[in-house]
Each structure stands twice: as C-alpha cells, then as structure tokens.
Structure 1
C-alpha cells in the first residue's frame, strides 16, 4: 500500500513537472489568430460558465420592462457593444474579426439569465476581450443595457434604428446619472471619412488653402470674400501682386524658381 501511494505521488510529481516544462517551453501558441485545442476550449468555456452562474446567483434583478431603461440601454449598446456583438443589419466588424474567442452575437436569443448578463457586463471575462464596464459605469446604467438585451433579438434593422433615435422623452435626463458612454464606432469599421460629407468637405478645405466657410452648415462666406477683394485692390494700388509681393523684387532674383511655390526657402 505504501508502495502504491509512493508511486501515485511520484506520478503526480512527474505530471506536474512535465506541465511546468511545457508551459515554459513556449510550445503552446497563444496567438488570437490560432484556435485553442478542443480540450482547452472546452475546459475554458465550462469553467467560465460555472463561474458566472455561481456568482450571479444572489444578484437581485430589478424591473426590466421600463421603456426609458430600454431606450437608454439601446443607446449604451450602440456606443459600447456593436463593434464586438453586432446589431441588426451588421454582420461583422474589423474588431470582431480579430477576436478569439469570437464574441457571441447578442442579436440572437441568449441562454443566460438577466443576472448572469449583468454580472458579465459589470465584471467582464478575462482573456476574451470583454471589458468590465462596472469600472466606468454605475449599476443602474448596466441594468439598462440588460433591459435592452432582453429585447434586442426581437428587433428588425428598422426597429433598432428607431430605438437609438436621438429624440428622448421629456425628463429622460432627470434619472440622476450621466448617460454619456463614449463610442467604439472607430473600431467597428462600419464606414470611413470618405462617406462623411462633413469630413470630405473639411479635407477639400484643407487641400486648397482657402477658407470656404463652414463645411457642415455650408453657409455663404461672401463677406469674407468681399474683404479679400478689397485687399487685392489695395495691393494693386501699391504696385503689389495678389499675394502682396513686389514684382520688381521677384524679377531681381533670376533663376530662383522657388518663389512661386509660396514657401520661404532661405536657410
């Protein structure tokens, strides 16, 4: 019996030593571009599921049917969650494509209870890319997201768009907490500045060096152009060209050729 016990202890010791050697060898690939081994994936998923279920058991769930909670939750979801968990009409993003494990599609029905969803949103999940939003948000805001998540799988693309519309019921800002969540749309990869009329106008403005007025409101800047015309007339009266330079001085620098580019090349 003693010999068997000693053999078991020796076997466990060798197994532990082998595991440590493998861990420090660097043989296991931790790249997000490479999937876990099936056994490792199963163990991690089962451990996560049991951990969340255990810690969510004592969480008291509030009333999640309040329309204002759902509306605020829709806004938070749009700003914080769509880059990873998608929304109706959005099938992928540049951020989601690079995450391993792939985040669940929250537009599909979930098997998790509201308490479990709240716990995950608040505390996050290690080594998955799921952040702990409880570090930056109050519990009331997190419950708003849960309230919206319960409705999300039922929404069409048009329903979703209506749910995040900027119009808010009177008194919506009087619930005692700030609903500015920040945005992750830059990581979602849903569009770029070339599709934004304001951004495109701003780029054009930067390219030609002239002020064309407000590119967003497209207001007429005729007053500014009127002032510019008056300046050109004054310079002409003084014998200067449109840029305020003396033609005589320009001809006094033969072979230069750099004066016309608008830059001072004197070193």
Structure 2
C-alpha cells in the first residue's frame, strides 16, 4: 500500500512540476531553439508509430506508370518544393526556418508508399505539413507517391524535364495558382498569372483602374484628371487656359472681354 501511495505522490509531483513549467513558460516555443534530445526522440517516436499504425492496413494500388509519375511531378513542383526541395535545388528560407526541419525527400530514398500517402493526405500536427487531402483526391495523392518513388533516382536535369512536360499544378479542382517567382522548382511550367484572358484589365502606374481604350469612342481624361470631353457631341465645349467655361463659338456675336478684364462691351 505504501508503494502505491509513494507512486501516486511521485506522479502528483511530476504533474505539478510539468504544470508549473508550462505556467511559468519554461518550455521554449521558438522554432529557432530545438527540443532537448529526449523530448525530440519522444515526439519523433510517437509520430512515427502513430503513422505506421494508421497506414498498416492500407491497400496500395499499382504505382509507377508514366502518367502517374508525370502528374505527381507537376503537383510536387508546385506544392512541395518550397519545404522539401528537389534534385539540385538549394535550400529555401522556409525550409531553413521550419522546425522540425522538413526532410529533403530527393535524398532519402523511396518512401514506404502507404505511410507517404497517409502523411500527404492527413498532414502532421505542429510540423508545417498540410493535410493535402482537403483539396486533393486520393488518385492525385497516389500519383504524387508514385513520383516520390522515382525522384531520388533523378538528376536535376531529369527532374526539370519531367516537370516541364507535366500538367503543372493540376489535381481536379481546389488548386490555388501560385506565381512563378514564388515557385522554386517550376522551370518550364505555366504561370499562375493569367495574361491571356478575353478582356484582361491592365492597371496604370498608380494602380488605378485602366482606361477603356478599346471602346468605340473612349473617354480621354485631361491632365488634371477632370471629366472627359464629349468628342462625339455636335458642338463640343472647349475649356480656355484658366479652366473657365468655354465661349460659345456657334453664337452670332460672342461677348468679348475688354482689356482690363472688366464687364464686356456689348457688341
């Protein structure tokens, strides 16, 4: 009985110590300070075992077709290279700043297909790994797994050539369209910027709405940004140098100002 009491006391003290450490901020939350070796090993083991248990009974389809690998390459280049890099690709700011550091997948060898599928689909909490299954169907995730089986064998040139012939970021809906300058590993692929729209709108230098130059009779703004002149009116009005109302040139006898700018003489 005394041993049980002693054990409960130790458990209580341990819980109190942990609770106190949490309350007083003893656990460093920054991504720039690694866990201790013991804590990291505990987290790593818990993660790996949890994934293995959940992927154990998964049925892996036939993988390795050219179409699967090409599809997976396009989506990998668009969605994964910023963190996991690619053959011949230098480290990125994100890959260096995340903790735990995302693995460089092209250097690890072929992953276990079932576990790779599970991780891609469900993500990993508190690691930066998203649950891509929220936007990708299983078919496209398996295509990415097929690509991951082959990527470690590829040279940088082979990888880039494969990506260039792929469909790019395409998995049947839900895709966001990234810009080229934010897409490392996307050489030869289409841009996320759509310049080929039927009626693309070009902004001027100040970011204002474009003028409608392609209308039959577009309105032109003057230098001061005032309302456009109606060029198609039967008798257009013209502003004088000071911006005053225009003289009516169609009148038989327009009024004239005298030399001193006073009341006009009645001609």
TM-score, reference length from structure 2: 0.67
Q: Distance in 2 between matches of 1:118 and 1:208?
A: 44
Equivalent in the alignment of 1:141: 140
Equivalent in the alignment of 1:124: 123
Equivalent in the alignment of 1:33: 32
Q: Distance in 2 between matches of 1:101 and 1:185?
A: 27
Equivalent in the alignment of 1:3: 2
Equivalent in the alignment of 2:93: 94
Deviation at 1:182, TM superposition (A): 2.5
Deviation at 1:249, TM superposition (A): 4.1
Matched position secondary structure for 1:73: helix
Contact 1:101 1:128 in 2 (8 A): yes
Distance 1:48 1:33, change over 3 A: same
Contact 1:80 1:182 in 2 (8 A): no
Bigger relative contact order, structure 1 or 2 (CA pairs below 8 A, ≥6 apart): 1
Equivalent in the alignment of 1:182: 176
Contact 2:120 2:141 in 1 (8 A): yes
Equivalent in the alignment of 1:23: 22
Contact 1:95 1:187 in 2 (8 A): no
Q: Distance in 2 between matches of 1:126 and 1:105?
A: 19
Equivalent in the alignment of 1:261: none
Deviations 1:171-215 (A, max 9, x none): xx9xxx716633456795759xxxx9x9xxx99952699x89xxx
Equivalent in the alignment of 1:254: none
Distance 1:55 1:14, change over 3 A: same
Q: Distance in 2 between matches of 1:55 and 1:167?
A: 31
Q: Which has the higher helix share?
A: 1
Equivalent in the alignment of 1:164: 163
- CA RMSD in angstroms comes to 3.9
Q: Distance in 2 between matches of 1:207 and 1:54?
A: 57
Deviation at 1:140, TM superposition (A): 0.6
Q: Which runs of 5+ in 1 are unaligned?
A: 213-220, 251-267
Q: Distance in 1 between matches of 2:32 and 2:202?
A: 36
Equivalent in the alignment of 2:248: none
Contact 1:121 1:132 in 2 (8 A): yes
TM-score, reference length from structure 1: 0.67
Distance 1:111 1:7, change over 3 A: farther
Equivalent in the alignment of 1:108: 107
Q: Which runs of 5+ in 2 are unaligned?
A: 186-190, 194-200, 221-227, 245-267
Deviation at 1:29, TM superposition (A): 0.9
Deviation at 1:61, TM superposition (A): 0.8
Equivalent in the alignment of 2:254: none
- Kindly indicate whether residue 81 of structure 2 is the aligned counterpart of residue 82 of structure 1: yes
Equivalent in the alignment of 2:256: none
Deviations 1:97-155 (A, max 9, x none): 32111100011134631111001001111110001111221111100100011111112
Distance 1:72 1:239, change over 3 A: same
Equivalent residue for 2:240, pick from 246, 253, 261: 246
Deviation at 1:65, TM superposition (A): 1.3
Deviation at 1:6, TM superposition (A): 1.8
